Amino acid sequence: MIASDPKGSLVFIFIMEEVIIFIDGAYLSLISKYLGKGKPLRFDIKKFALMLARKEKFYCKEIFYYNCPPFQSSLPTEEEIKKKTGYDKFINKLKNLGLKIREGRCQRIGEEFSQKGADTLMTIDLVRKATETKIKNFILVTSDTDFVPVIKDIRKNDKIRVIIYYFKDFIKDSIFSMSDHILDICDKKVLFKKEDFENLHIDN
């Protein structure tokens, strides 16, 4: 874009393309714990998202964060209450920073816990944002191949450019083992490095 200043001189103004970032919170937490050797890395998630946009030379328009509150029994234990209190404090901080929070639910079967609904919420948002906005760049932080159909759809029908950030430790049967299907369907794939989480200090 070219404009002129009051003196008539030409001024070049570069307008960055916008991007929307979608973060699978549970997946990001796994990466953080792995890179921290069992202890989650402390970093500012908003600064993290803005860093991803900056790396791709985009202006970050919106950040969506998906997660599930920790499981609560019908009569919550002290440990369950403590986890929920910490989670609520964390989520409220993200809301105050302007992130759009989407929450599923945590289901317990025996001693196993699993998230329900968060992937569906992300799928809904991907479709809605692809059809309702003029933004044509999406960054996804996830590894779930369940998103393959919706990624195919928004790329084909809405001309969305999808960039996926993911992590792989190249160990057989690792928790980070994933199908290349989702990587191959995206326009660009970027492998996380530990350096991507550095210098993102949490402001008190």
- 175-198 pLDDT per residue, tens: 777 778 899 999 999 999 888 988
9: confidence class by pLDDT, cuts 50, 70, 90: low
Task: Please give the share of the chain, as a percent, with pLDDT higher than 70.
Answer: 85
Asked if residue 9 is part of any domain, the answer here is no
What does pTM read for this prediction? 0.87
Asked if residue 170 is part of any domain, the answer here is yes
How many independent structural domains does the chain possess? 1
State the average pLDDT over residues 28-36. Answer: 90
DSSP label at 34? H
- In degrees rounded to 5, what are phi and psi of residue 166? -150, 175
The answer to whether residue 50 scores a pLDDT higher than 70 is yes
Angstrom distance (rounded) from CA 163 to CA 189: 6
Question: For the domain that residue 27 is a member of, what is the CATH number?
Answer: 3.40.50.1010
pLDDT at residue 170, rounded to an integer? 62
41: confidence class by pLDDT, cuts 50, 70, 90: confident
Asked if residue 89 is part of any domain, the answer here is yes
pLDDT at residue 2, rounded to an integer? 47
State the average pLDDT over residues 26-53. Answer: 92
Q: Which two tokens stand for residue 107?
A: 């289901």
The answer to whether residue 10 scores a pLDDT higher than 70 is no
Asked if residue 66 is part of any domain, the answer here is yes
Q: Decide: 135 and 97 in contact? Cβ < 8 Å.
A: no
Angstrom CA distances, 104 to 63, 135, 164, stand at 17, 26, 22
65 contact partners, CB below 8 Å, separation of at least 6? 23, 25, 45, 94, 99, 100, 101, 102
Asked if residue 32 is part of any domain, the answer here is yes
What does the mean pLDDT of the chain come to? 87
- Domain range for 35 is 17-197
Asked if residue 92 is part of any domain, the answer here is yes
Q: Looking at per-residue confidence, does 33 or 174 come out higher?
A: 33
pLDDT tens sequence across 55-85: 999 999 999 999 988 887 878 889 889 989 9
195 three-class SS = helix
